[in-house]
Structure 1
């Protein structure tokens, strides 16, 4: 192995990337626009939910219920007829539809316990799950206030003091921005290394490398360090200017420790990209493989859903994925301000997984080169 060859081959990859405007656009987009939109587009618990009300009672109590649904949780309720309710739900116009029956106020005051019908479009899961609880609380609160003649504030036997740690504002943009950067590091590192290998095969330059005094290890190492460097620089700039600057997301822990963990993670994911590049023969095939590999890595590694809520089999299997340990490391450092004494197990696991993936990918890369020769 000649370190100079690895350096020159990596510089060659950087020059090749600089001449590819689409790849440069992809790098810039994923760490700027994609991070910003992912953070700001994350829905609140309930925001501007469409609701329609069938008021068959037309009483002061029913008017009170209609007026209780206010922005920003709900849009202004649309008063409709009973015949319109099902059609509007079928068309997806309303997420919630309330039917207040005739004589509702009279039956309530007489103690007959009248029933209000609530229809929910359960296909809109983000709003339907929490929104139905909101609707029930609003209706019950208005009915009780009307029956008592005033709004009472119950005195609870226990005072619960809520302290939200690491995200005191409960701002979902804080979570969305950081987790998007983490996901983009994984995605882009695999794409860049795999695409670099396939691009050389399609352009015929891989044959030029085969007749040069370089080894497969040097070729692969040159691609890995150069593409990892690009992703690491883009990740650093994104954290500084998009996450902390534009979105004003506080970073709790040392960024340098996160970058060290990211560099070790990139060693694993770029090796994975080389392996996928040897399996796929063309860029469309590589794109299909990316879908099969990337979605499980991001969905099952604990970034979107806590690992503790997954089946134990999935938790155990995903320990073999580098993204699982990288997300644990990144969240501990960036969210909770963890130091090296906390995240060293994840760093060690990433180094071990990266070594295994690199060895496996190198064997596959050598075989593919020997087949071409």
Structure 2
């Protein structure tokens, strides 16, 4: 009973210290509001408002129909361009796509020949160039089939392919990006808050005061974990309700209660990792240098930025030992697919196992650092 009282009071001391740290409070506010809203609302993954120039050497009704088919919001209205200006505008990056319809294009098509349309792509705009070229190809194919009277070709095909997008019908990239930003910020804060809190006490001599009290390393460590866990879980809940659901309008289909429980479990592992790194460092700058090569792979290789399936197989196995990998999987499953415990229990068990392992290693290292 005394140990629980010690853990509770030490945790309250951590919360009091955080309450008087205005810079850290400002960072928390930024991390769960502005840093969530701006990328999700401002970053568009895909083709949006792409600039197009149209070289019409045919001057036919078909070429005008093709130009008019490129419409907002994916494309800007095509700007007319002379053929001799093609190289100049591509070199200057003025347009992402420059489309050239050759002379006699309509006549060749009606005569049964197969004329070509040249689509010049500025591939330095990688995301728009890759997907936009496919969009333009499908749009032109539809218009040409319609013009040549073959609109019913798809109905006569031996197989009909029907695509349905589940959980995000309009393929809104900002929905997923908002949740991933929260996941990434949780990872950063979990490691940084606990690590800097421990180092701040060491640098200010507070840790030496704690050691003369009847306290154990386990009590000190658990106090730091539960206090920082409480702060981050509360900020996560407010961010989901106010920013993600309120300002961004993302429909979260799953249980927020289950997600917050998973967040607490993930924080148990991440805060333990932060304490472990803090025991290796002797100052806050050293801790920052140690944290960078740990946090960056956790963010980039967890499956949030790049799907795990697209990574080398050996790297997929390595990342199964990272708690962030399972947390990203759990977040998408719970919030978007409304998955319950019966579906996500393998990742829950893996996350709990990794957390216990990290906690045991961090506790052993923390005890050793206190004795030295």
TM-score (norm 1): 0.88
Gap change, CA 1:54 and 1:309, over 3 Å in 2: same
Do the aligned residues in 1 keep the contact of 2:167 with 2:336 (CA within 8 Å)?
yes
Q: Find the residue that maps to 1:54 and give its secondary structure.
A: strand
Q: Find the residue that maps to 1:291 and give its secondary structure.
A: helix
**How do 1:12-31 residues align onto structure 2 when only pairs under 5 Å count?**
12-31=13-32
| Aligned position for 1:53 | 54
| Aligned position for 1:174 | 175
2-side partners of 1:280 and 1:121: how far apart? 47
1-side partners of 2:285 and 2:85: how far apart? 47
| Aligned position for 1:119 | 120
Deviations 1:63-92 (A, max 9, x none): 333333221111122223344333332333
Q: CA deviation at 1:156?
A: 1.7
| Aligned position for 2:155 | 156
Q: Find the residue that maps to 1:118 and give its secondary structure.
A: strand
**How do 1:97-112 residues align onto structure 2 when only pairs under 5 Å count?**
97-110=98-111
1:256 aligned to 2:260?
no
Unaligned runs of 5+ in 2: none
Gap change, CA 1:161 and 1:6, over 3 Å in 2: same
1:297 aligned to 2:298?
yes
Do the aligned residues in 1 keep the contact of 2:44 with 2:174 (CA within 8 Å)?
no
Q: Find the residue that maps to 1:212 and give its secondary structure.
A: coil
TM-score (norm 2): 0.88
Unaligned runs of 5+ in 1: none
Gap change, CA 1:204 and 1:56, over 3 Å in 2: farther
Q: CA deviation at 1:44?
A: 4.9
Deviations 1:35-64 (A, max 9, x none): 222332342532111112233444444333
**How do 1:300-315 residues align onto structure 2 when only pairs under 5 Å count?**
300-315=301-316
| Aligned position for 1:266 | 267
| Aligned position for 1:345 | 346
Task: Indicate the RMSD between aligned Cα atoms, in angstroms.
Answer: 2.6
| Aligned position for 1:216 | 217
2-side partners of 1:286 and 1:82: how far apart? 58
| Aligned position for 2:226 | 225
Gap change, CA 1:327 and 1:10, over 3 Å in 2: same
Query: Once structures 1 and 2 are overlaid, which stretch shifts more, 174-183 or 312-321?
Result: 174-183
Do the aligned residues in 1 keep the contact of 2:184 with 2:299 (CA within 8 Å)?
yes
2-side partners of 1:274 and 1:285: how far apart? 13
**How do 1:52-201 residues align onto structure 2 when only pairs under 5 Å count?**
52-110=53-111, 113-146=114-147, 148=148, 152-157=151-156, 162-201=163-202
Q: Find the residue that maps to 1:99 and give its secondary structure.
A: strand
2-side partners of 1:341 and 1:195: how far apart? 37
1-side partners of 2:121 and 2:283: how far apart? 46
